[in-house]
Structures are given as C-alpha cells and as structure tokens.
Amino acid sequence: MNYGEARWYIEQGNVSPYDATDDWREGDRKVPPPYTDDAHAIACTIIFYLKDNSRMIEDALRTVDEDRRIGFVRDIAAIIRVGMKPGGGAS
C-alpha cells in the first residue's frame, strides 16, 4: 500500500468511525464524533480497512451491537498505544 492509499483509508475511517453510536449512524452523519487520540483514529481506520477488503468481515462487523463496537475499538486502540511506546512492540 502506498502513502496515498493509506491516507485514503485514514480519511474514510475518520468520516465513518466504527464505534460511533447507533444514533449517529441512523442520523444525518454530518459531523463524525471526535477521536480521543491517534490510537483511537488508527483503530477505526484498521477496522474500515478490514471491512473494505473482505465482504465476510464487513458482514460480520455490521451485525455487532453498539456496546461491542465501542469495546472493540477501545481495546484495539489500547493495543496500539502499548505498541507505540518504547519497548512495547515486538521484540
């Protein structure tokens, strides 16, 4: 994946965050909810990438309820935060 493609996925993750509330998803979706930090944004981008590249994953993730969506993103973001710290990545 080149830089431009990666930027596109980041932008798509920004406009359609996976952990957005059901009210936002069913509303006008004009202003996406803010991210808490970069790890949160990256987590949503990764989920968007997976959904965009696999119909099976997209179908499965579409059925996840709001509480679990929020939990998935929270947990992936926590893993990213740990991995980004010195000594937190693979050894």
pLDDT 10s digits, 16-55 = 899 999 999 899 888 888 999 999 999 999 999 999 999 9
H helices present in the chain, as ranges:
3-15, 22-26, 38-53, 55-62, 66-84
Q: How far is CA 25 from CA 29, 43, 80, in A?
A: 6, 18, 25
Instruction: Enter the pTM of the model.
Output: 0.88
Q: What is the DSSP letter of 52?
A: H
pLDDT 10s digits, 60-84 = 999 999 999 999 999 999 999 999 8
Question: What does the domain layout of the chain look like in residue ranges?
Answer: 3-84
Q: Does pLDDT of 91 surpass 70? A: no
